Amino acid sequence: AEIYLHGLAGQTPALPTDPARLEEAARAVLDDGPFGYVAGGAGQGATMRANRAAFDRHGLVPRMLRETTVRDWSTTVLGTAMPAPLLLAPIGVLSIMHEDAEPGVARAAAGLGVPMVLSTASSHTIEEVAEASGEGPRWFQLYWPTEDAVTVSLLDRARRAGFSALVVTLDTWTLGWRPADLDQSYLPFLRGVGCAVPFSDPAFLAGLAASPEDDLMAAVGRWVPMFTGTALRWDRLDLIREHWDGPIVLKGVLHPEDALRAVEAGMDGVVVSNHGGRQVDRAVGSLSALPGVVAAVEGRAAVLFDSGVRTGADVAVALALGADAVLLGRPYAYGLALGGQDGVTHVLRSVLAEMDLTLALAGHADLAGLRSSPDALVTLPR
Ligand code: FNR
C-alpha cells in the first residue's frame, strides 16, 4: 500500500521491487569482478537454474473466504524470536558491494528484527558487526578452520559478541569451479577482503611472523590452507559441540541420509542449501531436496532452506514444503550494492511484504494455519 500511495504522488520506489531488475541495476553500478563474484555460480550455472526451476514445479493452492485480515508470521527458531521465518544468509566479502558492508546489513536487519547470519568471510570483524547489530538477533556462520586453536578462538569470540546460534557450512571446504571468477582472475580473498575475521584473530595471528598489514602475502598464505581442505568429519563435530553452548546448524545438507546423520550427531538443525549453485554444478535444485530432508528429520531438528529464493512467494512455497525458516541470499547483496543499508532494508521489506500478501491471499493467517493445511501446495509433473 505504501508503494502504491507514493505512486499516487508520482513517486516510484528508489530501487526495483522486481528481483531481475534489482540484479540488472546492481550489475550497472558494480565492476565486472565484484558483480561476477556475487552473481556467478559453479560451472555452467546448471545448479542455479535448477534452483529456480524447482520453484516452478510447485504451486500454492489458494483457499477462499477465510479470515486473514489479522496476520502474524512471528516464530521462534532454535531459541531466536523473529517477526517472520526469514533470515539473512551468510554472504562474505560484502565490502566489494558497498562501503556499508556487513555493519550496514546488520543495522538494516536489526531495524526489522530479522536475524543476520554473519559469515566467517566477513570484511568486518565479528565484534564490529555485533556492535552494529545492537540488540538485533544474530547467528554466526563458521567456515571450519583446519587448526583447532583457530576454530576454538572464533567460536569464543562469536559467543562473547552475542551470537546465539552457530551455522557450520559443510559444502565449501574448497571453492567450486566458478568461470566468472576464473576468467577475470578475480578472488576477493587474495586481496585480503573477507579475511577480517581471521586477520583479527589472536590464534590466527599467532602463526604469523608479521601482521597482515605489514605482510599481506604471508597472511593470505596462511589463510588459504586454513580454510581449504577439510577438518570436517562427522566425528569431529564433537569439537564444535564442546566449544559452543548454543544451537548448531549444519548448512549445505541435500541428502536425506546426511540430514539423518546430523540428527544422530545431536545437531539442532540443518540448512538445505547448495550454496546458491556456487559449489557443485549439476547439483539437485535445493527446493527439490527439501521434502526428502523434512521427511528424514521428522521434526527432530529445525530444517532451514536457501538457494534460489528471490521473492516472498518463493519463501511461502518453501514454508509450505515444510521449511521452518528461509534464508535470503543474493537479493539483499544487490540491495546493499544499490543503496547501502537502506537498500538492504528495501529488499527485506519487499520480500516480507510479498510473503505476507501471498500467504494471506492464499488463505493463511499464521504459520500454524499454513502448516495444518496439507492442501496448501501442489507439485506439478516435471
Ligand atoms: C555466499 N554464501 C555463503 N555461505 C556461507 O555459508 N558463507 C559465506 O561466506 C558465503 N558467502 C557467499 C558469498 C556470495 C557472494 C554468495 C552469493 C553466497 C552462500 C549463501 O549463504 C547462500 O547459501 C546462497 O546465497 C543462497 O543462494 P541464493 O539465494 O543467493 O541463490
* Helix 286-297 vs helix 46-56: crossing angle, to nearest 10: 70
Write down the mean pLDDT value for the chain.
96
Say if residue 38's pLDDT is above 70: yes
For 178, phi and psi rounded to 5 degrees? -120, 95
3-state helix, strand, coil in the chain (%, to 5): 50, 15, 40
339 sits in which H/E element: helix 330-361
Question: Residue 250 pairs with which residues in a beta bridge?
Answer: 168, 270
Residue-wise pLDDT for 69-107, tens only, equals 999 999 999 999 999 999 999 999 999 999 999 999 999
Ligand 1 nearest atom to the CA of residue 167, by list position: 6
Residues in contact with ligand 1 by the CB-under-6-Å rule are: 37-38, 51, 89-92, 119, 121, 141, 169, 251, 273, 275-276, 278, 306-309, 329-330
Q: How far is the CA of 356 from the centre of ligand 1 (A)?
A: 24
Question: Which amino acid appears at position 43 of this protein?
Answer: G
CA of 201 to the centre of ligand 1 (A): 23
Residue nearest ligand 1's atom 3 by CA? 91
Cell numbers 532452506: residue: 305
197 Cα to the center of ligand 1, angstroms: 17
Residue 181 has pLDDT above 70, yes or no: yes
Q: How far is the CA of 334 from the centre of ligand 1 (A)?
A: 13
Q: What is the DSSP letter of 190?
A: G
Res 231: pLDDT: 62
Q: Which residue has the cell 590466527?
A: 204
> Among 94, 189, 278, which residue has the most ligand 1 atoms within 8 Å of its CB, making it the best to mutate?
278
Are 137 and 242 in contact by the 8 Å Cβ rule? The answer is no
Residue 53: is it exposed, middle or buried by C-beta count within 10 angstroms (0-12/13-18/19+)?
middle
| One-letter amino acid of 23 | E
Average pLDDT over residues 332-348: 98
232 has pLDDT over 80: no
Q: Which residues contact 285 (CB under 8 A, 6 or more apart)?
A: 47, 50, 51, 52, 53, 54, 274, 307, 308
Instruction: Specify the CATH architecture of the domain 20-63+70-379.
Output: Alpha-Beta Barrel (3.20)
Residue nearest to atom 23 of ligand 1 (CA): 275
- For residue 182, the tally of other CB atoms under 10 A from its CB is 13
In angstroms, how far apart are the furthest CA atoms of the chain? 70
Beta strands in 306-364 (DSSP E): 325-328
Band (pLDDT 50/70/90 cuts) for residue 381 is confident
Pick the catalytic residue: 58, 98, 124, 275? 275
By most ligand atoms within 8 Å of CB, the mutation choice from 97, 250, 275, 328 for ligand 1 is: 275
Whose grid coordinates read 564442546?
242
Q: Letter for the amino acid at 311? A: T
Contacts of 299 (CB under 8 A, 6+ apart): none
Quick check: is 275 catalytic?
yes
DSSP symbols for 132-180? HHTTS-EEEEE---SSHHHHHHHHHHHHHTT--EEEEE-S-SS----HH
pLDDT category, 350, cuts 50, 70, 90?
very high
Residue 275 Cα, ligand 1 centroid: separation in angstroms? 5
Nearest C-alpha neighbor of 123 from the set 99, 146, 88: 99
Separation between Cα atoms, residue 158 and residue 156, nearest integer Å: 6
ipTM of predicted assembly, 2 dp: 1.00
Q: Cell 571446504 identifies what position?
A: 173
Distance CA(157)–CA(161), nearest Å, equals: 6
The one-letter code for the residue type at 297 is V
Question: Distance between CA atoms of 196 and 274, rounded to whole angstroms?
Answer: 25
Higher pLDDT, 229 or 327: 327
257 neighbors 270 (Cβ within 8 angstroms): no
pLDDT in tens, 138-153: 999 999 999 999 999 9
* Best probe residue, ligand 1, of 23, 51, 91 (max atoms within 8 Å of C-beta): 91
Tell me what the mean pLDDT of segment 364-372 comes to.
95
